[in-house]
Structure 1
């Protein structure tokens, strides 16, 4: 009788919502790399309506699908996944976005690095693919400077982006899950790693470990896409500055600036950004009233 080796106490946590084909591509890559068989893969599906959960259960029954409420967003999904994995006895978490494709040995190298460097959070170097080459993306920061690691480098950082990050379970046991109230979607990743490094953990990005990102890497920052003929000023204001979906959400900006830079300096940065954004809102609102066809409206609402 063929014996199945027990999986390592490593939990790959993938938040998903209505991107079935992207999610299935991610899982297929994990299967080809052997990570689906070696580690526990947990999908937090935030009430997708495109059949994501059903497809995963059919095609990849070895993965665990946790249902979400429909209002988890990125941070809530990761928090739920971490809480589940901790209860199962996880020693390490790996955050992985479903539009992030690790190389065949990326995740095993992250785990090995964390085992040989206790209390250290580890991130690979992230690339986007162009027609002719791979382009490094900044996925770490120290102070106000963002950076990526070159091959052969291990660079320590204050915080990391959450595309793909290995996190020892000791981090969760000391500081708890990411803050779903202050950072429901944007900035839930880098502020969590920042909180961990301030609590005494180390974080680094490793140049010899690689993942490739596909699809849009950063949210499209485009004020005009929030304005449509017929929408009231209050509707555009709420969608732009209050919705959890928006990268311009003011509560997130306030908490991000004050947590990263301290109350006084952070409040100054927030006020400057607030004035600039409100000026843009007034400009586009007036344009919508006076010349509605001049705006290149989108679907950000």
Structure 2
């Protein structure tokens, strides 16, 4: 636990790890330089076999570690951390991917934005690819029920200051998401039925239904080693077969839950265009695993990888 000014809200930082020892250690090292001081780190380890727990416990003895006997995946593991944080009087909970590196003032900016309006329930930073470090991965997001679309704003654009305006956004990615205690208590936990991917958009959507605002704060900046936590070789922007399957599965679940009947007059058309575009990219890259994953979705197969 950090020695902290009492006037700062109490933030619990949750990091889920699964055989990501080197990335997680690097992430924890970057957190040591935070300008914000009233925080506590909880690591949720999903039955790693690479020596992660021992290495992290030795290097960062102040970090609390929840040791799972099996891979609980993203939502369930984070829910374990959220429940612990709320029991320990957290004012805010920060979900943070283990394959990220943070800028020292990022948490200060996120908390300041959340504190600026009691209606703000969730806030996310500007997120860059780790390489090249000025290429944007997330600068807000779009949710379109009419088009059946969940998409990051600015992805793969070089940062030239074009997304420097803080404001409401479609959803905050679970890669780095600050949620207020009030928002969590009202909205509930992450939906574990998603297994992985899209549970962040679902959480934000439910928070909005309860009257909370979802915000993007560009003054807060972090870097994401994209695709490192999903395993496998990243092809076509990280579209491994594993990722393709669960991304599409999550979108089907999300829009099946929230789209109105009249949206289904347009969603199939836009999904067909997206499907064909993705298929062309996968074929061009000879990404047979990605193609098989898409075919599994079409045939309704639900076999976990």
TM class by shorter-chain length?
Answer: 0.7 to 0.9
With the length of structure 2 as denominator, give the TM-score of the two structures: 0.74
Question: Corresponding residue for 2:86?
Answer: 86
**Shift of residue 33 of structure 1?**
2.7
Mapping of residues 220-299 of structure 1, within 5 Å: 220=234, 246-249=243-246, 251-262=249-260, 265=263, 269=267
Q: Which has the larger radius of gyration?
A: 1
1:210 alignment partner in structure 2: 221
Q: Is the 8 A contact 1:257 1:266 kept in 2?
A: no
Kindly report the root-mean-square deviation, in angstroms, between the aligned alpha carbons of the 2 structures: 3.6
Counterparts of 1:1-301 in structure 2 under 5 Å? 4-5=3-4, 9-33=10-34, 38-120=38-120, 121-131=122-132, 134-144=134-144, 146-148=152-154, 150=162, 152-181=164-193, 183-216=194-227, 220=234, 246-249=243-246, 251-262=249-260, 265=263, 269=267, 301=305
Q: Is the 8 A contact 2:109 2:217 kept in 1?
A: no
* Cα pair distance change 1:158/1:102, threshold 3 Å: same
- Alignment partners' CA distance in 1, 2:169 and 2:59: 38
Query: How far off its partner does 1:124 sit?
Result: 0.8
Cα-to-partner distance string for 1:134-166 (whole Å, 9 max, x where unaligned):
011235323336425845411211312111111
Q: Distance in 1 between matches of 2:228 and 2:51?
A: 24
- Does structure 2 conserve the Cα–Cα contact (< 8 Å) formed by 1:110 and 1:166? yes
Structure 2 counterpart SS, 1:165: strand
Q: Is the 8 A contact 1:139 1:161 kept in 2?
A: no
**1:5/1:124 CA distance change after superposition, 3 Å:** closer
- Contact 2:23 2:100 survives alignment (8 Å): no
After superposition, the Cα gap between the structure-2 partners of 1:129 and 1:257, relative to the gap in structure 1 and judged at 3 Å, is: same
Aligned residues of 1:139 and 1:160 also touching (Cα < 8 A): no
3-state SS of the aligned residue for 1:74? helix
1:159–1:193 Cα contact (<8 Å) kept: yes
Check 1:110–1:14 CA distance in 2 against 1; reply closer, same or farther (3 A cut).
same
Q: For structure 1, list consecutive stretches of 5 or more residues without a partner in the other structure.
A: 227-239, 285-294
1:232 equivalent in structure 2: none
Contact persistence 2:10–2:90 (CA under 8 A): yes
Q: In structure 2, how many angstroms separate the alpha carbons of the residues matched to 1:266 and 1:194? A: 19
Contact persistence 2:126–2:140 (CA under 8 A): no
In 2, are the aligned partners of 1:46 and 1:67 still within 8 Å (CA)?
A: yes
TM-score normalised by L of structure 1: 0.74
SS of the residue 2:48 aligns to: coil
Distance 1:70 1:268 in 2: 41
Gaps of 5+ in 2: 145-150, 155-160, 294-304
